[in-house]
């Protein structure tokens, strides 16, 4: 497996298949995807993206932070460490690049356990994103 900063076009097929399918949305593009400061990360097996995530510079309670969006793992790779590898890589790479070690996301309620194992904390009450489902806002500050 190879884990690295990726091009948007490399992650779109996985995002479409895992995140967008079944939501009623037609496009795998998110606002900010094409911004120069946005970073996409991927895990690749034999050149195929099997895990992806997007990070946008975005404040958290008035402090510079990275917002995680669109994290996905191919169904056949779930439970095999792809998400953990991807998140650990991205947190380190983005901190090294920017010096910003604060991350936040709107996590699906069903994914909160994964993020908590990765050191993220729930920072909001549960809320609904229409057409997508129940979410919690979560955050993580890297030590240092």
pLDDT value at 23 more than 80: no
Q: Which domain holds residue 47?
A: 2-103
The domain total for the chain is: 1
Distance of CA 66 to the CA centre of its chain: 10
Residue 112 covered by a domain = no
- Residue 132: pLDDT band (50, 70, 90) is confident
As a whole number, mean pLDDT of residues 12-25 equals: 85
User: How many whole angstroms separate alpha carbon 96 and alpha carbon 114?
Assistant: 24
Residue 142 covered by a domain = no
pLDDT value at 87 more than 90: yes
């Amino acid at each position: 497996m190879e884990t690295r900063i990726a091009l948007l076009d490399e992650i779109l097929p996985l995002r479409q298949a895992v995140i967008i399918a079944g939501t009623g949305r037609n496009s795998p593009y998110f606002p900010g995807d094409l911004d120069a400061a946005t970073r996409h990360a991927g895990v690749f097996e034999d050149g195929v993206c099997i895990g992806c995530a997007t990070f946008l510079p975005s404040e958290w309670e008035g402090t510079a932070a990275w917002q995680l969006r669109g994290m996905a793992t191919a169904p056949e790779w779930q439970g095999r460490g792809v998400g953990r590898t991807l998140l650990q890589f991205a947190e380190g790479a983005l901190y090294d690049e920017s010096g910003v070690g604060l991350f936040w996301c709107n996590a699906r309620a069903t994914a909160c356990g994964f993020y908590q194992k990765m050191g993220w904390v729930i920072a909001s009450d549960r809320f609904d994103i229409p057409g997508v489902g129940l979410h919690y806002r979560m955050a993580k500050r890297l030590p240092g």
